[in-house]
Amino acid sequence: MICSRLLDPGELSVLMLAKELQTTAVLDEKATRREAVGLAVRFTGTLGLLQLALKRKRMK
């Protein structure tokens, strides 16, 4: 169950889409990350996304 009072519509959409597609969500807000854990949605933050881009040589 999602505590939607803590999350805005965009954050809810990201969580639901990531769960439906079984993919990793990019989340930075603590409340949203807590909900992701409860929903068993994998997530990373902006820094994790940047690290991945550097690792895959998508950025210099």
Domain boundaries, the chain: 4-55
H helix runs in the chain, sequence order: 9-21, 30-39, 46-55
Residue 5 has pLDDT above 90, yes or no: no
Q: pLDDT tens digits, residue range 19-34? A: 999 999 999 999 999 9
Bridge partners of residue 26, in order along the sequence: 44
**Which is more confidently placed, 14 or 3?**
14
Distances (CA, A) of 29 to 13, 44, 56, 59: 14, 11, 25, 24
